[in-house]
Amino acid sequence: MKKCIVLLLLFLLAFSSVFAEASDNTFLDEIFLSDIPITYGDEAFRARILEKTKGERDPIGLVLTGGSARACAHIGVLKYLEEQGIIPDFIVSNSMGSIIGMLYAAGLKAEQIEEVLLAADLSTLFSFTFPIDGGILVPTGFRTMIESLVGADFNLEDTDIPVMVVNDDLITKREVRITEGNFTDILIGSFALPVYFAPFEYKGHLLVDGGVISLAPLDAAYEYSDTIILSSTFYDQEDMELINPVTVLNASFDIGKRQNIAKDMKKYKNFIWIRCAVENYSFMAFNRAIDIAKIGYSSAALASDELSTLYKAGEVSDSMKKTREEIFPKISKINKSLTYFDRIEAADPTLMLAINVKNMNFEGKSDYYLKQSAVLGLDYSFLYGPAEMGVGSGIGFDTSDLCDSTVFWSFNSYIGYYPFDNFRMTGEIYIDMFRKNASFMPTIYFREGIDYIPFSIDRHKISLNQTMEYYNDYADKEKGSSSLFSSSIKYNGDFGFGDLYASVGYLLTATSIIWEEPANFLQASALLRTYCDSRNSIYIDTRALSRISLDKAGRVPLFFSDEYTTSTIDYGSRQIYTNAKYHNTIVGVEFGYDLPHSFTFGEFVTIEDSEAGVYFDMLIQDKAVGFSTGLDLQTKISMIGLVNIPFRIKIGYEYTVEKKHAFVSSLAFSLKY
C-alpha cells in the first residue's frame, strides 16, 4: 500500500512538472508573440495600393498620429498636400488621426472634414453613461453623424484611398492593424481611449486606442512603401505639474510611447516629417480646430522642398470628386439639424443609457416657469428618425436657494417629435417624491412645448415658442396647483462686439388645472453682453425684464427662470413671493472678467472658460424697490474636450421690497443645456 502511495505521488509530481513546463512554454510563447502585429486584410490592402501605382513607382504613404484636438492639424496638412497635387496612395493612422484620415480616404475634402468637426458643440454628440461596457462616454450622436455622411453599410475597404487603422488588443496584448470592416465601427473604435470609451470588439479582439502604446505607426507604413510622410502632433508638456495622480499616470504612459517613437524614427531615417507646431494648444481644444488646422497647413509648407520630390497625381480621382459633390447636401442637412436643436436624426433605431444632469433653467434661457431643479440620474433613451423618447430617475435638487434647498427622488419621462429640421414638439412629466416635509405625497409637473425656428443664419436666430405647464404639490393642499400658458418670440444674435438675447411674450396663469382665477401678463426681456477689450476678457452684462399685468387680476409673478437671486422663494406655488399688482421689473448689470488660465488634470479633465463677476440687480414692484448684489462665478469642467459640465454659483446680499435683509445664493449646473 505504501509503495502504491509513493508511486502515485511520484506520478503526480512528474505530471505537475510537465504541466508547469507546458504552461511556462505557453506563457513564453505569448510573450514572444506580443511584438508581432496582427493584420486583417493585408493581401487586399497591398493589391489596392498596387492598383494605385500600377507597379510603376513607390507608393506614397501618409502616417497621421493621434493627439485629440491637436490632430486637427492634419486637416491643414491634407489641404496643403492636395494643393500641391500630392495625393497619398495609402494612409496609416491611429487615434484621432484615424478620424481625419478615414474621412479623407472616404472622399471628404479637408474643408468638409473641418466643417463636420465644427458643426456642433461636441458635447451634443457624446454622453456620459454607466460604465457597464468599460467606458464612461458613448458617442451615440457622433455615430449617427458619421453614418449620415457615408451610410451605415459603408466599409473600410470601400474607401477611395486604402487606409489602415492601428489599435491595440487587450486579449492578445498585440497590435492589431485593420484594413477591412464596417467604416463607422472602426472609426469609433480608433479613439477607444481606456476608461473614457468602451473597448472596440473586432473579430474576437477587444481593441483600444492605438495611441496609448505608439505615437506614430511608422512600422506599419513601412511594410508597404519606403516613401512615407509623417504628420505628427506630439510634443513635450513643459508646464506639466507632476503633483496630481492623474497627471503622473498620463506622464508615465507617455514615457513608453516616446521611447517607441524614438526607436522607429531612428530606424527609418528617410521619411518626410511634417512636424505640426501645435504645442501651444491643449489636447482638448476642439473649439480651436480652425486655428490648429491653419498651423498644420503652414507646417506642411515648411517641408515644401522635400515634398516637391514626390510624385504628383495632380488631383483626386473622379470617384472622390463625385463623393464630395454628394457629401455637400448631407453636411448642409447636418448643420441645419445641429444649428436648430443640436440634434442629428438617427437613421436606425438607437437605444442609449446615459448619466444625465439637467437643470431646468440653466442660464435663464429656457421656458420652464413652474419648475426649477436639477436632476442627477440615469436616462434610458430611444432615438429613431424624427422621434425620440426616454425615461429616467435620479436625485433632484432645488438649487435656487442653497441655504434652504430641498433634496428629493425624481422620476421623469420625455417624448419629442421633429417633423422638420426647424420644428419641435415635446412633452415631459416629472414626479418628485420625498420632498422636504412632504412624506410620501408626490409633486407632479407636466410641460408641453412647441418650438419653431423660422430664421437662423450665421450667428443670428429667431424662434417662436409656446409652452403649457402644470404643477401640483399634493403635500401642500393650501397652495393648490398652478397652470401656465406662455407664448413668445425670441432672438439670439452675435454682433462681434457682444451677444444679444431678447424675447417678447404673453403669459396666462391660473391656480388649477381647470384654469381657475386666470391672470394675463405681457412680458419682455433682454440680455446684452459686451466686451471692453480686444482679448474679450473684460465683459459687461446688461439685462432687463418686465412683466406687466393686462387685467390687474392679482399678483404679478416672478419665476426662478427670471434669475433674480433672492431668498424669498415659495416652493409650493413655484414662484418668488411678490405683492405687485401691476408690474415687476428687473434691471441689472454685471462687471466680470474671463479668467485666462485653465487648470488641467493630466490633459483629460480641464477646468476652463471660468468667469468671475460682480452683479447688481434692482427689483421694482409697482412703487416698491429692492435689490440683490453679490458675486457671480461660472466655470466649465471639460472631459477630454468632448463633454462639458457648466457650473454657476451666485452668492450675495439682498434688500427685499419689504425692507428686509438676507443672505442669498443659487447654483446651476447641467450636462445638457
The angle, 0 to 180 degrees and rounded to 10, between the axes of the packed helices 183-190 and 140-150 is 140
The arithmetic mean of pLDDT across residues 533-561, rounded, is: 85
Q: Name the nearest CA neighbour of 486 among 397, 432, 559, 381.
A: 559
The arithmetic mean of pLDDT across residues 263-291, rounded, is: 85
Q: How is residue 288 annotated by DSSP?
A: G
For residue 464, the model assigns a pLDDT of 96
- Which band of pLDDT confidence, cut at 50, 70 and 90, is reported for residue 3? low
Looking at mean pLDDT, say which of 23-37, 415-429, 527-541 comes out highest.
415-429
For residue 486, the model assigns a pLDDT of 94
Rounded Cα distance, 148 and 27, in Å: 45
Q: Are 330 and 107 in contact (CB under 8 A)?
A: no
pLDDT at 516 over 90: no
Q: Are 663 and 646 in contact (CB under 8 A)?
A: no
For residue 22, the model assigns a pLDDT of 45
Query: Which tens digit of pLDDT belongs to each residue from 550-578?
Result: 987 667 888 888 888 888 776 556 677 67
For residue 12, the model assigns a pLDDT of 47
The percent of residues in the chain predicted with pLDDT above 90, rounded, is 44
Rounded Cα distance, 243 and 602, in Å: 10
Phi/psi region, residue 67 (left: phi>0; alpha: psi -120 to 50; beta: rest), is: left
pLDDT at 495 over 70: yes
Q: Are 622 and 583 in contact (CB under 8 A)?
A: yes
Q: How far is CA 136 from CA 130, 193, 201, 390, in A?
A: 6, 10, 17, 19
The angle, 0 to 180 degrees and rounded to 10, between the axes of the packed helices 73-83 and 289-301 is 40
For residue 239, the model assigns a pLDDT of 54
pLDDT at 183 over 70: yes
pLDDT at 281 over 90: no
- Which band of pLDDT confidence, cut at 50, 70 and 90, is reported for residue 211? confident
Rounded Cα distance, 369 and 360, in Å: 9
- Which band of pLDDT confidence, cut at 50, 70 and 90, is reported for residue 299? very high
- Which band of pLDDT confidence, cut at 50, 70 and 90, is reported for residue 477? low
For residue 426, the model assigns a pLDDT of 95
Q: In this structure, what is the dihedral angle of CA atoms 94, 97, 99, 101, given to the nearest 10 degrees? A: -100
Q: Which of 23-27, 428-432, 575-579, 604-608 has the lowest mean pLDDT?
A: 23-27
Which position has the higher pLDDT, 39 or 647?
Answer: 39
Q: Which of 118-132, 136-150, 420-434 has the lowest mean pLDDT?
A: 118-132
Query: Which tens digit of pLDDT belongs to each residue from 384-427?
Result: 889 999 999 998 887 666 666 678 889 999 999 999 989 999 99
The arithmetic mean of pLDDT across residues 570-589, rounded, is: 78
For residue 17, the model assigns a pLDDT of 47
Rounded Cα distance, 140 and 640, in Å: 17
Q: Are 82 and 306 in contact (CB under 8 A)?
A: no
Cell digits of residue 18: 510537465
Which position has the higher pLDDT, 447 or 140?
Answer: 447
- Which band of pLDDT confidence, cut at 50, 70 and 90, is reported for residue 478? low
Q: Are 104 and 132 in contact (CB under 8 A)?
A: no
Mean pLDDT computed over every residue of the chain = 84
Q: Which of 239-253, 286-300, 455-469 has the lowest mean pLDDT?
A: 239-253
The arithmetic mean of pLDDT across residues 289-312, rounded, is: 93
- Segments in 179-317 forming alpha helices (H): 183-190, 218-221, 245-267, 289-301, 304-307
- Which band of pLDDT confidence, cut at 50, 70 and 90, is reported for residue 430? very high
pLDDT at 366 over 90: no
pTM: 0.83
For residue 387, the model assigns a pLDDT of 94
Rounded Cα distance, 506 and 551, in Å: 13
Q: Are 138 and 126 in contact (CB under 8 A)?
A: yes
**Exposed / middle / buried, residue 557 (Cβ in 10 Å: 0-12, 13-18, 19+):** buried
